[in-house]
Amino acid sequence: MTEQSGSQKTRISALEATGLTRAFGEFHALENISWSVDEGSWWGIIGPNGSGKSTLLHLLSGVDQPTSGSVHIYGKKVGSYSRKELSRIIAVLQQEGLPPVGYTVREVVEMGRFPHQDWLGREKGVDVDLITDRVLERLGLISLADRALDRLSGGQRQRVALAKVMVQEPQILLLDEPTTYLDLRYQLEFMELLAEWRQEMGVTIIAVLHDLNLTAQFCDNLLVLKDGKVEGVGASAELLTKERIHRVYGVEPVMLPHPDSGVPQLLLRRSTRDGSR
């Protein structure tokens, strides 16, 4: 475990990537990524389509291996954990959190406890029903608890996916574009639930996000990728500048401070100044 003694408090590195490269044949999807994530921090990974965001998440979660370089989770190489050990530490929530299978909401959410159970599905000293009920209640899913997943909307299924990872109680949560299919209210609600949960449990969050305005409001730090390389790393408020967004995405945005918090917010400009075609 890497511990750095700061003047205020000890920082523990939850995740450390060192010189990560992932090549597919001759093509380098990621090149020489080095990055350290402190325990309890909230990082956004941003960058254009094809810049390597999902590839990076796959390497961090251990489902894919780098061509060179390494990932350490709490000081231990990701590949040296068993699958089950790793899923007690890391949970992954995908863009479309859960497939529309025939299991009920409660059954799926309870599956979040699998990594903590023995081969008979037992877990000492833990009341799975109670944990599940609390999470269902918190996410407003009690009335849907006995409904099959294939009878839910995409947004409801995404909430169930969040409930499942909350029940899993990981130390690190990786999210790949979790708000893509959610309407405005659910996007905000989803991010607020994550923020509350992080505050309470100290979970480390790493989220690939396309919505830069939401990103600026929720993520303290950003890793900006372009063509598989790190284009910027650090505090969101400092990285989200007009110049960088132009450089990375090739658009000319208008940047304004959010009237509530002052964090940078972005408006897109059409290609002609008066907006006419």
52 near ligand ATP, rule: CB under 6 A: yes
Rounded to whole angstroms, how far apart are CA atoms 25 and 178?
30
117 in Cβ contact with 126 (< 8 Å): no
Binder of ligand ATP out of 5, 7, 49, 271 (CB under 6 A):
49
119 exposed, middle or buried (CB, 10 Å; 0-12, 13-18, 19+)? Answer: exposed
Rounded-to-integer distance, Cα 145 and Cα 147, Å: 6
54 binds ligand ATP (CB under 6 A): yes
CB of 49 vs ligand ATP, minimal distance in Å: 3
DSSP, collapsed to helix, strand or coil, labels residue 154 as helix
Q: CA quadruple 82, 27, 25, 68: dihedral positive or negative?
A: negative
Q: Which of 44-52, 74-82, 101-109, 149-157 is the region at the interface with ligand ATP (rule: CB under 6 A)?
A: 44-52
Among 2, 19, 34, 50, binds ligand ATP (CB under 6 A): 50
Which of residues 10, 24, 119, 277 is near ligand ATP by CB under 6 A?
A: 24
Determine the Cα–Cα distance for residues 45 and 26; give it in Å rounded to an integer: 24
Q: Is 53 in the site for ligand ATP (CB under 6 A)?
A: yes
Question: Binding mask 134-173 vs ligand ATP (x if CB under 6 A, - otherwise)?
Answer: ----------------------------------------
47 makes contact with ligand ATP (CB under 6 A): yes
Which is it for strands 204-208 and 42-46: parallel, antiparallel or unpaired?
A: parallel
| Structure-block tokens of residue 22 | 């992932």
Name which position in 13, 15, 20, 51 contacts ligand ATP (CB under 6 A): 51
Amino acid in position 111 = M
What one-character DSSP code corresponds to residue 206?
A: E
C-beta of 67: minimal distance to ligand ATP in Å?
A: 12
- Residues binding ligand ATP (CB under 6 A): 24, 29, 47, 49-55
